[in-house]
Amino acid sequence: MNNEISNEKMNIVSIIMGSDSDLPIMKDAMEFLDKMNIKYEVNILSVHRNPKQAISYAKEINDKKIKIIIAGAGGAAHLPGIFAAYCNVPVIGVPIKTKTLNGIDSLYSIVQMPSGVPVATVGINNSKNAAILATKILALNNNELQKGLADYKKELEEKGYIKNEKINIIGYEKYLKEMNGEI
């Protein structure tokens, strides 16, 4: 098998979450990576409930073709840090909103990693930004991904123009009613 074919089929991003309850948040990362045609694998690995499995997977990452890890976790949120400790690839942490502290606990747990064990961190519940950041890192050496990101930015810009034009035509009250599904 030639290198091109094997590279095309490999998973270059690993998306990991501590619980299946994180899936509704983490799906936004998967959807963005799909849009950019970036291959990924998904795992539910709790460092608290099944630490042997999580650490075993973390140790295997360096032998795989994984280039970036996106790890979502709530509460104590140790998952991104464990992977940053074991792996030599960038880890992007996604703090998941919790019932008790609204995700502030998750955010602090992920962003306050000790010196020498960095975890890039995005906003609470913002797995899409984690996927965008992962794409930007991968795009450093990939013209196709650079073009995909440029197209995405253009799409955001166009949506902004449309929203501005609409609010100026129909007014803020009707705009708000439409946003709230009242019209």
* Domain chopping of the chain, boundaries: 3-139, 143-179
What is the mean predicted confidence (pLDDT) over 21-26? 97
Q: Looking at the DSSP assignment, which residues form a beta bridge with residue 95? A: 73
Return the number of other C-beta atoms located less than 10 Å from residue 101's C-beta: 13
Where does residue 69 fall: left (phi above 0), alpha (psi -120 to 50 degrees), or beta otherwise? Answer: beta
Is pTM beyond 0.95? Reply is no
Identify the CATH number of the domain defined by range 3-139.
Answer: 3.40.50.1970
Find out whether 132 and 105 touch, Cβ atoms under 8 Å. Answer: no
29-81: per-residue pLDDT in tens? Answer: 999 999 999 999 999 999 989 999 999 999 999 888 999 999 999 988 899 99
H-run or E-run covering 89:
none
Find out whether 74 and 124 touch, Cβ atoms under 8 Å. Answer: no
Give the integer Cα–Cα distance in Å for 101 and 53.
28
